[in-house]
Amino acid sequence: MRRPVALRISAALAATALAGGITLALSTDEAVAAETATGYASQNGGTTGGAGGTTVKATTGTQIHQALCGRAASDTPITIQVEGTINHGNTAKVSGDSCNTADGVIELKEISNVTIVGVGNGAVFDQLGIHIRESSNIIIQNVTVQNVKKSGSPTSNGGDAIGMEKNVRNVWVDHVSLLASGGESEGYDGLFDMKNNTQYVTLSYSTLRNSGRGGLIGSSETDLTNGFVTYHHNLYENIDSRAPLLRGGTAHIYNNSYVSLNESGINSRAGAKAKVDNNYFKNSKDVLGTFYTDAAGYWQVSGNVFDNVTWSEPGDENNPAGPDPKSTTTVSIPYSYQLDTATCVPAIVSRTAGANKGLKVSDGSC
């Protein structure tokens, strides 16, 4: 896969960046970011992040905020290469005309044209979430976000590893590792949440592990302005529910590997439409349907493998798609994509998904 070139920067910007404690990354060899967004993030004008802008390097959360605040404007393109552990101790609010940051969270608010990518020995956001609000054209790649809590100490981002809300457009999250160490009773919330008019998002080649809640589209059954989300080549492992939860909107869910969905999986509710293609579900329960509500959602299914999947009985607020899932709607997909055979998906995802995998993608083989 080709890598983008880190552009030369002006002496003035170099001085500004160095004064703020940011290390400038001038070597093209260090620039690590995939070239083209996939899925719904490729629509609505596309998602290019910081392409064409300056590349800087950060080793603390404060330096990430300084990089955002040091731009000429809130839409000036920038790629921020991150290495090391980002935590509460090194993440402080920074002020400026081109940013709106906060303590104890990586805050991407009222900005656009930003890439955050892990490089070198890797980037770990430890107990520190990434929050995207009123922003557009954002890429997050090759990072780990772990153990973000909404209760206990320390807390960050309402307990979400990555959360998006309020008029967010065009976000591509790729090759990331998202994990918790329990459910809501242990202080955690979702790993990948979208609400309040968030659209054109792709989550690809990522791992989501050990959480009560994988993620959602829509915070309630009246929050129906979200959608056009693609999930592909991800691993969901040891997740209780919300893999994902869809409240309205349209989702394309293909070539994902699901292992140990303990209570429910893809939960399509409140008129949501999910196209569910060539996924592999293993050792799981109620992997597709409408659960915990009588507000029906819909699905189109093809090519999926159900390996040791159990299904509950239908009820007033329980409508599992199985044991023999049939399509209840049709979904038209506006972009091109290549489906891997479902039986190959666990092997493909194992070698490609998550941070620090060299941004490898499927070559179509097992």
pLDDT at res. 32: 53
Characterize the bridge pairing of strands 250-254 and 273-277: parallel
- Nearest-5° angle of CA 309, CA 311, CA 314? 165
pLDDT at res. 2: 32
Task: Find out whether 7 and 52 touch, Cβ atoms under 8 Å.
Answer: yes
Which residues sit opposite 290 in a β-bridge?
319
Number of neighbours of residue 72 by Cβ within 10 angstroms: 11
Task: Find out whether 161 and 192 touch, Cβ atoms under 8 Å.
Answer: yes
CA dihedral 82, 83, 84, 85 (to 10 degrees): 20
Task: Find out whether 162 and 178 touch, Cβ atoms under 8 Å.
Answer: yes
**Can you say whether the dihedral through the CA atoms of 74, 80, 86, 91 is positive or negative?**
negative
d(CA 230, CA 236): 15
pLDDT at res. 205: 98
Helix (H) or strand (E) holding 232: strand 227-232
Task: Name, in order, each residue with C-beta under 8 angstroms of 109's C-beta and a sequence gap of 6 or more.
Answer: 99, 100, 101, 102, 131, 132, 133, 134, 135
- Cis? peptide before 314, omega within 30° of 0: no
Could you give the residue ranges of the DSSP H alpha helices within the chain? Answer: 11-19, 61-69, 345-352
CATH annotation of 11-352: 2.160.20.10
- Nearest-5° angle of CA 126, CA 130, CA 132? 180
pLDDT at res. 35: 67
pLDDT at res. 27: 34
Residue type, 225: T
Q: Show me where the domains of the chain are located.
A: 11-352
d(CA 247, CA 285): 20
* Digitized pLDDT (tens) for each residue of the chain, 366 residues in all: 333 323 323 333 333 343 344 444 433 334 455 569 999 999 999 999 999 999 999 999 999 999 999 999 999 999 999 999 999 999 999 999 999 999 999 999 999 999 999 999 999 999 999 999 999 999 999 999 999 999 999 999 999 999 999 999 999 999 999 999 999 999 999 999 999 999 999 999 999 999 999 999 999 999 999 999 999 999 999 999 999 999 999 999 999 999 999 999 999 999 999 999 999 999 999 999 999 999 999 999 999 999 999 999 999 999 999 999 999 999 999 999 999 999 999 999 999 999 999 999 999 999
For 192, the token pair is 């990948």
Characterize the bridge pairing of strands 318-320 and 288-291: antiparallel
For 223, the token pair is 């929050």
pLDDT at res. 30: 42
d(CA 358, CA 352): 8
DSSP letter assigned to residue 29: G
d(CA 153, CA 127): 9
pLDDT at res. 34: 58
The CA R_g of the chain, rounded to the nearest whole Å, is 20
54 class by beta-carbon count within 10 Å (0-12 exposed, 13-18 middle, 19+ buried): buried
**Catalytic residue positions?**
242
